[in-house]
Every structure is written in structure tokens, then in C-alpha cells.
Amino acid sequence: MRPANEAILVIDVQNDFCPGGALAVAGGDEIVAPINALMPEYSVRVFTQDWHPADHLSFASQHGADPMTVTEMPYGPQVLWPDHCIIGSEGADFHGRLDDRLADMIIRKGFRREIDSYSAFFENDHKTPTGLEGYLKTRGVDTITMVGLATDFCVNYSAVDAARLGFTVTVVESLCRAIDFDGSLEAARESMVGAGVTLA
Ligand code: VGL
Ligand code: ZN
């Protein structure tokens, strides 16, 4: 058992990010069993769940654009995705074998039409908080282990934000899988290392 100041943050292990899903990440389902095995070591366990209205503006379909192109939003550039993780849909459910009984807290994100939220801590304007910082700090957590999907988007943004907020952060890369679109994985590794995140 790890000390009480350490949390595990399980990012977006949802059907739509696993093989067969709307925004499938190669090998996304391979991390489920080892994450289940690791979670009991931690006394603080938080999951995130990507959770979008059907008309979310991160969806290419809302812009008449092709998925995996980039548009400009008021808060900066935004990749346009296939429709995914629609509120209440099967695609938005956690992977069927992920043991969600072990979650103390589930943070849903991306539920406002106008703004995407990759990070578990802030929406993509880098200002609007999700409340997770307060949750972790009031539980006495200063050290976070991160796993999940996708390495180069939600894990990356969450890890960089957590490091900037003063948490000690380790991303277990073997328990993550990446979208790896247009060099995004290498860029994500650089940004995480630059922010002081340990890649294990
Ligand atoms: C994610 C793209 C869009 C992720 C979520 O979980 O990494 N990526 N929404
Ligand atoms: Zn999303």
C-alpha cells in the first residue's frame, strides 16, 4: 500500500477510446487489466470521463469539416474529432472490465458545448477549473500517478497541469496508449518532461 499522499488518476478509459470505439486508440484495452491490478495500492483513486453533449464543438461534424483537422476556437487551436463520448452513450461508459467500483471520485469533463477539456484540472481555456485540484489537495494528496488514454492528449494535458499546480507527477507510459497524430506523441513527451513530469 502506498502512503496516503499518493493518488492514482485514471484518465478516460472509456469504450470510445478502445478498439471498436468512435475514437479508438490502438491497444487502448490492453491497459485495463494492469490498471485494475495497480489501483488497490492507492488510497486515493480518481477516474476521469470524457463527457460531451451530442453537439459539442470539438466534433468535426459540427463544422462540416473532416475529423482530425484543426480549427481556431476563441481559446486557441482545437483538433476536430469524430463524435465520441456522448453523454449517456455506451461509448462514454468506462471499459467493461475497468473496475470502476474502485473509484473514489469521477471527474466528468468536456460537458460544455463551447469548450473542450483535455485536462482533468482545467478546460482548454487553461482557466476554468474542474475542481480536481481542490479535491486532491483537501485529501492531502501531493503526488499523482497517471495512467490511461490518450497519452498525447488527455494524459499529457492533465500531467502538465498537475505539475504546474505543484503536484509531483509520474506518467506510467506502459499503462497509457496514444493517438499519435501528426507528431503529437513526441510533442507530448517533450511538454511533459519540460513541465517536470517523470515518464516511467
Ligand atoms: C481525448 C481527444 C478528444 C483523450 C478526449 O481522452 O485523450 N482525446 N477527447
Ligand atoms: Zn473528447
**Which is the catalytic residue, given 109, 116, 152, 176?**
109
pLDDT tens sequence for the chain (200 residues): 999 999 999 999 999 999 999 999 999 999 999 999 999 999 999 999 999 999 999 999 999 999 999 999 999 999 999 999 999 999 999 999 999 999 999 999 999 999 999 999 999 999 999 999 999 999 999 999 999 999 999 999 999 999 999 999 999 999 999 999 999 999 999 999 999 999 99
141 lines ligand 1 (CB under 6 A): no
Pocket test of ligand 1: the residue of 9, 10, 11, 12 to mutate, having most ligand atoms within 8 Å of its CB, is 12
Q: Tell me whether residue 154 is one of the annotated catalytic residues.
A: yes
Is the separation of the CB atoms in 156 and 183 below 8 Å? no
Element containing residue 35 per DSSP (H, E): helix 32-38
Q: Nearest to residue 28, comparing CAs of 82, 98, 103?
A: 98
**156-187 burial string, b = 16+ CB within 10 Å, else e?**
bbbbbbbbebebbbbbbbebbbbbeeeebbee
All residues at 6 or more sequence positions from 42 whose CB lies less than 8 Å from its CB, including other chains: 2, 6, 7, 8, 145
Ligand 1 binding pocket includes 92 (Cβ within 6 Å): no
**Ligand 1 neighbour 9 (Cβ under 6 A):** no
What is the structure's pLDDT at 81?
Answer: 98
Is the sign of the CA dihedral 49, 55, 56, 58 positive or negative? positive
Going from the Cα of 3 to the center of ligand 1, the distance in angstroms, rounded, reads 30
**Centroid of ligand 2 to alpha carbon of 110 (angstroms):** 6
Helices (H), 94-169: 132-138, 156-164
Report if pTM > 0.95: yes
CA distance 96 to 31: 13
Distance 138 CA to ligand 1 centre (A): 27
Phi, psi angles (nearest 5°) of residue 103: -80, 130
DSSP secondary structure string for all residues of 65-92: --TTEEEEETTEEEEEB-S--BTTSGGG
How high is the pLDDT of residue 104?
A: 98
In the residue annotation, 125 being an active-site residue is answered as no
